[in-house]
């Protein structure tokens, strides 16, 4: 099976990466510091929203999505920070103290009725962890393709956020996973406890950047 595989794919994209890894791999042990240094600018970029990534896409934010953001902004004003507005994708950032209120508004008035996933991303350079709720809608047809990323950031050393379980029941397991993978404690969540990891796991949360896979 695999020999057949190899026969058919001596073409570039498949062949090239195996060549590359050797270079990346040799530099890898030394590199971790540099990527870490290089990485944060990416997350930091969203703040000066017009800086790095947007220029090509930002010029004309799609009307429908912009309308949605305007509606949220009308209600909450400057406490909502728009990170980007792209076709079908919106990302807004709020302070942890506002998140429950904003989520309730999104659910009740905007029609975002469920959370698809909850993602945590560690930004050691900023000393923060960003938690993203991907919200979608089943009940409103025009929102079917939209995914609204509701994000908030918390201090990395004392990562605590209010839970959204009372607004979106669907975040229950996702938040629990975020707790164990990134060590973000969700205040009010009934079970901030072990979920996917082994019961005897005794290390730092594995999706934090300072956790390294053994031997890497």
Partner 1 sequence: MTSLEDKFEESKRLGLQIVKESEEDRLMTLSIGPQHPGSGHFRFTIKVDGDYIVYCDPDPGYVHRGEEKMSEYRNFIQNIPHLERPVIHDSTNITYAYSLAVEELVGIEVPRRGQYIRAIASELNRQVYTLYWLAIYGIFLGHSTMFMWPTGDRELFIDLLEALTGARVTHAFNIPGGVRNDTPDGFKDRCIRQVRYFEKRLKEYEDIFYNNPLFRQRTEQVGVLTKEDAIKLGVAGSVLRASGIPYDIRKAEPYDIYNEIDFKVQYMKTGDSFARSYVPFLDMKESCHIIEQLLDKMPQSGEVRAKLQPNPKGPPGEAYRRVESGRGALGYHIISDGTPKPYRVKISVGSFRNMLALPFLLVGQKLADMPSVYWSLNYWPVEADR
By CB under 8 A, tell whether 49 contacts partner 1.
no
Binding residue (CB under 8 A) for partner 1 from 198, 200, 202, 214: 198
> Which 90-119 positions form the footprint of partner 1 (CB under 8 A)?
91, 113-117, 119
By CB under 8 A, tell whether 50 contacts partner 1.
no
Binding residue (CB under 8 A) for partner 1 from 96, 121, 124, 185: 121
**Shortest reach from residue 169's CB to partner 1, in Å:** 5
Binding residue (CB under 8 A) for partner 1 from 27, 41, 97, 188: 41
For 167, counting Cβ atoms within 10 Å of its Cβ (0-12 exposed, 13-18 middle, 19+ buried), the class is: buried
Give 59-68's long-range contacts (Cβ < 8 A, gap of 24+).
61/85, 61/86, 62/86, 62/87, 64/142, 65/89, 65/90, 65/146, 68/110, 68/146, 68/148
**Shortest reach from residue 138's CB to partner 1, in Å:** 5
> Which 55-84 positions form the footprint of partner 1 (CB under 8 A)?
none
Q: Which stretch binds partner 1 (CB under 8 A): 1-9, 67-75, 96-104, 154-162?
A: 1-9
Which one, 8 or 78, has the nearer CB to partner 1?
Answer: 8
By CB under 8 A, tell whether 14 contacts partner 1.
yes
Residues that bind partner 1 (CB under 8 A): 1-2, 4-5, 7-9, 11-14, 16-21, 24, 35, 38-43, 45, 52-53, 88-89, 91, 113-117, 119, 121-122, 132, 134, 138-139, 144-145, 147, 149, 168-170, 172-174, 177, 181, 195-198, 206-207, 211, 213, 216
């Amino acid at each position: 099976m695999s020999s057949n595989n190899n026969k058919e794919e001596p073409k570039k994209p498949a062949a090239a990466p195996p060549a590359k890894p050797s270079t990346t791999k040799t530099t890898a042990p030394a590199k971790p510091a540099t990527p870490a240094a290089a990485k944060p600018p990416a997350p930091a970029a969203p703040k000066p929203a017009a800086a790095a990534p947007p220029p090509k896409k930002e010029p004309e934010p799609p009307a429908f999505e912009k309308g949605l953001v305007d509606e949220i902004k009308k209600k909450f004003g400057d406490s909502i920070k728009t990170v980007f507005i792209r076709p079908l994708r919106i990302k807004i950032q709020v302070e942890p103290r506002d998140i429950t209120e904003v989520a309730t508004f999104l659910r009740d008035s905007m029609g975002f009725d469920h959370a698809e996933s909850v993602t945590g991303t560690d930004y050691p350079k900023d000393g923060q962890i960003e938690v993203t709720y991907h919200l979608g809608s089943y009940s409103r047809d025009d929102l079917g393709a939209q995914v609204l990323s509701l994000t908030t950031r918390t201090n990395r050393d004392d990562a605590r956020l209010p839970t959204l379980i009372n607004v979106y029941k669907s975040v229950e397991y996702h938040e629990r996973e975020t707790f164990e993978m990134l060590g973000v404690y969700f205040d009010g969540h009934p079970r901030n406890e072990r979920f996917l990891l082994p019961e005897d796991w005794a290390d730092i949360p594995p999706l934090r950047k300072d956790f390294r896979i053994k031997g890497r």
